Each structure stands twice: as C-alpha cells, then as structure tokens.
Amino acid sequence: MGYNKISLQLFFVIGFTSALGTNYCSTKMKSFKVLVTNPTVPEIGIKLLTDQGCEVIQVTQENREEIIKHAKGVDALFWASCLSLDKEVLDVAGPQMKAIGIMSAGYDHIDVEEAKKRGIKLGNTPHPLHDAVADLAVLLLLAAARRAHEARLLIENNKWITGNWKWMLGQDVTNSTVGVIGLGNIGLSIVKRLQGFNVKQFLYTGHKEKKEAREIGAKFVSLNTLLEESDFVIIVVPLTAETKGMCDDDFFSKMKKTAVFVNVSRGPVVDQPALIRALKNGQIFAAGLDVMTPEPLPADHELTTLPNVVLLPHLGSATNNTRASMSSLTAENILKALGDEEMITPI
C-alpha cells in the first residue's frame, strides 16, 4: 500500500471535508437521520456526519432490539455491528432509506441483495484494515509455529524442562513454503511482510492469476498443490456460498503433518470439527485462529483445550488508527450516498 493508516485517516478527515463539505452541509444534510449501531464507534466518523448537518442517533447497547427500536425513519445506517442486517431491519427503517455504511471489510452479515433491491447504496471499509490484519496473520503464524500457547501452558503447570535440546521444537519460517488462499490486498500485505523472513517460495490459489502476485514472486497453483507443498497455509477469503466449509477433512488431509494453518478470514470458512480432528490426530502441526465458530467462543469449547492452537478473539482490525480510519470511511460513504453520489468503496 502506498500510505499508512495515519495518512489515510488525515486524508479522509481533511481532504474529504475540505473538498466535498460544501456540497453536503446546510441544504442537503441537515434533515438526514443516521443511526449508528454501536456505542463504541470512534468519534471521528460521528463528527464527520454531525459536521455536515446530519442528525446522528447512536444506540447505547449493541443489540438487535436497540437497533430496531431506533431504526424507524432513518435515512442511513452506520452499521458497526456483527449482527445480521436483514429484511426486518430494512422494513422497520422504511422506504426513505438511502444508504448503509458498513464498518468492516466483510459483509456476509448483510442482506446485500435485499438492500440493493430497495435501491439502497452500500459501502464497506476494505482498505484501512489491510495492514492490521496482515500483522495479526504473521503474529498467529509465528506463535503457532513456535508453540507459544503450549509453552505458556507448560510454564503455568510447572513443566518447564531444561537440558533437553529436543524439548518444544517448533517449525521454521526461513526456507519454508507459504501458501495463501485468497491473495487479495490482505494476502498481498501478508506476503510482503513474510518476505523479510527469507521464505523459500510463496504459493497462492484463487479464481485467476494476478499481476500483483507476479511482481512479488508468488506462484499461482491449484488448491491441491498449495495444500500438499505448503509449510504454512493462510486463508484470507471472503465468506461466500463457495468458501463456506471449504476447509474440511479432505482439505486438512492434503496438508503436511508439519504444516501450520492460519485463518484470518471468517470462522465458517472452516469446518471446525474437521480442524479439531486434524489438530488432535496430528494431521497438521498447529493452527492460529483469529476467527472461529461461534463468536464469542465459549470458554469451555473444545478448541480452547488444545495445546497446538493459538486463539485470538477476532482482533484483526483492532488498532486505534485502523478503527478510526474505518469509522471515517464509513461516514464518508454515507455522506456520498446521501448526496446522491457514488460511495468511495461501494459494494
């Protein structure tokens, strides 16, 4: 990417308001109501809306009842929630609804077809979170490869062994083969980070070859080849009918027994019982997961009992600058749509 999060945020806040603000304030924006569906949304996005004359209604709790309670008559939804945005919510909002700004890159929780059928414009926030998610993918890869969770458990249980050179050996990233399933912007960012680890080769698979992949030396292969040859398999695909449950028993059976699996996409992409079997039976070496099913994951879930899995509670975009940039872009998408213009990042 050619910018960092801070410069992106400043561009959104300064550039957008100075260049476009006069088009939106006073006459067009003053009567529009925008419902913000999360009480913890960074203030920068809300300020952009109010500065342009919008009436902002913000829920005090992120739950469906609270959202439906305040949705009637709004012109736009600032959807910063993992809750389902479906026909019921749109019916309550009413026919005057013009825009939905989704504060996330993924939108599998949104009934896009229903919204578009009603002529509602939708936009998400794919760009601001590339770096943060890529950083987290590398963190999970390294932690799983070097058995970080298992090692911590041994310390906690007073089982730290000294003098045994074979104790707690992990997997090397140097001279390894890394396979990325879904080489979009996040996947490309992951590869660029891992290049500094002297990886032997990068493989990727998807619907077609990509020019950007050739520029960074990644090789396009079939899914089977990627699974059979990769020491690390990183999945970064959107959740669709095609990808749901794609990581099943057959998928894991093709991986090396020394391989590490990393998922920073969506939980349902993985057949979770199949992953658990692969981890327990030694079919794969370890896994690093930022997403799982369900979310939140119960504390007594079987995944939490496995020493060879590193779990994080869906923290991919969880940095101050990233979330602020996402908030800004969500507000700007809404303002564009309310002004009868194309959103910056439309769906």
CATH number at residue 28: 3.40.50.720
Name the pLDDT band for 29 (thresholds 50, 70, 90): low
Residues 57, 192 within the same domain:
no
Q: Give the count of alpha carbons within 13 A of 28, CB side only.
A: 16
Residues 49, 114 within the same domain:
yes
pLDDT averaged over every residue in the chain: 91
Reply yes or no on whether the pLDDT at 10 is more than 60.
no
Residues 179, 276 within the same domain:
yes
Q: Distances in Å between the alpha carbon of 267 and those of 137, 247, 302?
A: 14, 10, 15
314 is catalytic: yes
Q: Which residue range(s) make up the domain with 292?
A: 130-311
Residues shown for the chain? 347
Report pLDDT for 30. Answer: 56
Digit-coded pLDDT (tens) for 93-105: 999 999 999 999 9
Digit-coded pLDDT (tens) for 62-84: 999 999 999 999 999 999 998 99
User: 3-class DSSP state for residue 222?
Assistant: coil
Residues 96, 173 within the same domain:
no
Reply yes or no on whether the pLDDT at 17 is more than 60.
no
Residues 106, 27 within the same domain:
yes
List, in sequence order, every residue forming a beta bridge with 260; answer none if it has no partner: 232, 286
Digit-coded pLDDT (tens) for 280-300: 999 999 999 999 999 999 999
**pTM for the full model?**
0.86
Report pLDDT for 305. Answer: 96
Digit-coded pLDDT (tens) for 177-190: 999 999 999 999 99
- Assess contact for 44 and 67: CB atoms under 8 A: no
In a domain? residue 343? no
Closest CA to 127 of 215, 265, 8, 214: 8
In a domain? residue 345? no
Quick one: average pLDDT of 6-19?
40
Report pLDDT for 31. Answer: 79
Q: How many domains does the chain have?
A: 2
Query: What tokens were used for 298?
Result: 């119960």
Secondary structure of 137-185 as H, E, C letters: HHHHHHHHHCCHHHHHHHHHCCCCCCCCCCCCCCCCCCCCEEEEECCCH
Digit-coded pLDDT (tens) for 94-148: 999 999 999 999 899 999 999 999 999 999 999 999 999 999 999 999 999 999 9
Q: Which residue has the tokens 């109010």?
A: 50
Residues 243, 98 within the same domain:
no
In a domain? residue 229? yes
Reply yes or no on whether the pLDDT at 9 is more than 80.
no
In a domain? residue 344? no
140-144, 176-180, 206-210, 229-233: least confidently modelled range: 206-210
CA dist 149 and 289 (Å) reads 12
Q: Which residue has the tokens 């060879």?
A: 308
Q: 70, 130, 149, 314: which one is catalytic?
A: 314
What percent of the chain shows pLDDT beyond 90?
Answer: 89
Residues 40, 136 within the same domain:
no
Closest CA to 177 of 137, 226, 133: 226
Digit-coded pLDDT (tens) for 253-272: 999 999 999 999 999 999 99
Report pLDDT for 106. Answer: 87
Closest CA to 141 of 285, 268, 279, 249: 285
Reply yes or no on whether the pLDDT at 310 is more than 50.
yes
Residues 190, 90 within the same domain:
no
Name the pLDDT band for 2 (thresholds 50, 70, 90): very low
Reply yes or no on whether the pLDDT at 15 is more than 70.
no
Residues 84, 62 within the same domain:
yes
